[in-house]
Structure 1
Amino acid sequence: MGRPRQPLLSRDRIVDAALALVDAEGLDVLSTRRLASELGVSGPALYNHFATKDEIVDAVVDTVLGEVDIAVFARVSADAARDAADDRSQDAAEATSWDEALRVWARSYRAVLGAHPNLVPALAPGPARRPNALRMADAVFGSLVRSGWPRAQATRVGVLMRYFVTGSALGSFAGGFPDDAALYAGEYPHLGQAHLLADAQREINENAFEAGLEALLHGLADRYARVRVG
């Protein structure tokens, strides 16, 4: 029998299959045996590309994080953004303030995680040795420091934003209310309309995220002003 023109397996094919499995059924069902079955190969064949299941999970997470927009941080320059109204040079016009960069990034980050909610728990340990995760952390921290945030404060801001975004992607608050009006009658007088929330969960969740994001950025802007004065 001749050798196949293309190898049966590649890292990309394994990662794609693993992500599809996690998206469909959750992290708990992911195993090398199940993944091999999905790919139509024997279990040991996976080990030619990944030594452990954890390495596969890391690769899946990092692939997804590679979809997050971090290019905006390369355009951050607080001084240029402040002076843009007076300086009409190309550099000033293209500059982005640190808070606008966080806004763009947070929306992109949430959209990516929202497309793969079952993968969010795997983000909890932090970037580890995941290249895209490390690039994202470096971009966020670097832009904040470049904008005048002290390094310790920049670390806290990055952590705070990460908590906010990943927390918002863990599930739907509105979708957690049963659509049974009788459940709330009498004992929960302030939840008389709660049975309607599930039908509007996407709008509610998005509006809640935007409200939280703006409140967070306004609070950080106040802190930034105090840091700059100090």
Structure 2
Amino acid sequence: MGRPSKPLLDRERITTAALQLVDEKGEFSVPQIAKKLGVQTASVYHHVDGRDGIVELLRERVCEAIDPTPLKSPGLPWEEAMAAWARSYRAAFAAHPKAIPLLATSPVRAPRVLEQYELAAGLLLDAGFAPADVMPVIIGLDNVVLGSALDLAAPETMWEPADETVTPRLAEALAAMGAAGRPDRAFELALRGLIAEARGLLLA
């Protein structure tokens, strides 16, 4: 019997199976991955460094969709570069919102993802930010992006007062906002606020 043209198991297939499970259930286990791929659990461990290794493979896969180009574009103001990166970052995670709690609560170790954070740190340092201010800006951007990516997956109506006479100001604000473009408007407002606050650090 000839050998299969492709290996039955590799890191790419493991990552794909894990991401499918996370998209469906918000979680995964190595035995679930093995079952999905039709292999023994021990076979999966031959290709990955346990559960933590799979989490980092998932992080790399999701982050493949983030465009780092703005962070390394000479002449592009840091504000525009960070905003463009944030929008791409948000879109990547909005495609896999159930992965956010999993990835946001584990340390970032994936080299290809750390490369993007290295670019962001370098951009801010070159713009004149004090080293002590760089990570708070990046973490703040992380929070805005990931929160907004979850918001994109939320129901269109998030506030449902049972009796509008009890919350009339809230009802007025909800009616004035409308549903169209709610997540995008909120994200852009938060992003502008973050950048404005960060700009203030340079002037302090």
TM-score interval for Structure 1 and Structure 2 normalised by the shorter chain? 0.7 to 0.9
| Partners of 1:9 and 1:145 in 2: CA distance | 43
Match of 2:194 in 1: 216
CA gap of 1:207–1:131, structure 2 versus 1, over 3 A, is same
8 Å Cα contact 1:17-1:38 kept in structure 2? yes
Cα 1:163/1:126, change in 2 over 3 Å: farther
Which residue is 1:13 aligned to? 13
Could you tell me which amino acid in structure 2 is paired with residue 177 of structure 1? W
Shift of 1:99: 0.6
Q: Write out aligned runs for 1:166-177 (5 A).
A: 166-171=146-151, 172=154, 175-177=157-159
How many Å apart are 1:24 and its aligned residue? Answer: 2.0
Aligned-residue Cα RMSD (Å) equals 2.4
Q: Could you say if the C-alpha distance between residues 97 and 187 of structure 1 is closer, same or farther in structure 2, counting changes exceeding 3 Å?
A: same
TM-score, normalized by length of structure 1? 0.78
Of 9-18 and 124-133, deviating more is 124-133
**Of 59, 63, 83, which aligns to 1:61?**
59
Gap change, CA 1:173 and 1:44, over 3 Å in 2: same
What's 1:187 paired with? 166
CA distance in 2, matches of 1:132, 1:176: 36
> CA 1:136 to 1:127, structure 2 compared with 1: closer, same or farther past 3 Å?
farther
Match of 1:75 in 2: 73
Q: CA deviation at 1:208?
A: 0.6
- CA shift in 2, pair 1:195/1:167, >3 Å: closer
Return the letter of the residue paired with 2:19: L
How far apart in 2 are the matches of 1:116 and 1:69? 16
Given residue 143 of structure 2, which amino acid in structure 1 is its aligned partner? Y
Q: Which residue of 2 aligns with 1:104?
A: 84
Q: Deviations over 1:102-145 (max 9, x none)?
A: 11011111111111111111232465321122111101001111
Partners of 2:96 and 2:60 in 1: how far apart?
Answer: 12
Alignment partner of 1:148: what SS?
coil
**Structure 1 counterpart SS, 2:49:** coil
Which residue is equivalent to 1:116?
A: 96
Paired residues in the alignment total: 201
Q: Which runs of 4+ in 1 moved over 4 A?
A: 193-197
- Post-superposition Cα deviations, 1:76-123, rounded to whole Å, max 9, x if no partner, equal 4xxxxxxxxxxxxxxxxxx10111101101111111111111111123
Rounded Cα–Cα distance in structure 2 between residues aligned with 1:112 and 1:68: 6
Question: Distance in 2 between the 1:126 and 1:34 partners?
Answer: 20
* Gaps in structure 2 of 5+ consecutive residues: none
Amino acid aligned to 1:72: P
1: CA distance, partners of 2:189 / 2:108: 31
C-alpha spacing 1:102/1:126, structure 2 compared with 1 (3 Å): farther
**Aligned partner of 1:25: which letter?**
K
Report if the CA contact (8 A) 1:69-1:109 is conserved.
yes
| CA distance 1:196–1:33, shift in 2 (3 Å) | farther
Q: Does 1:158 align with 2:138?
A: yes
Q: Distance in 1 between matches of 2:41 and 2:105?
A: 27
**Structure 1 residues without counterparts, runs of 5 or longer:** 77-94
Amino acid aligned to 1:59: L
Residues 175 and 136 of structure 1, relative CA distance in 2, 3 Å threshold: farther
The letter for the 1-side match of 2:133 is Q
Percent identity between the two aligned chains? 34
Q: What residue in structure 2 maps to residue 33 of structure 1?
A: 31
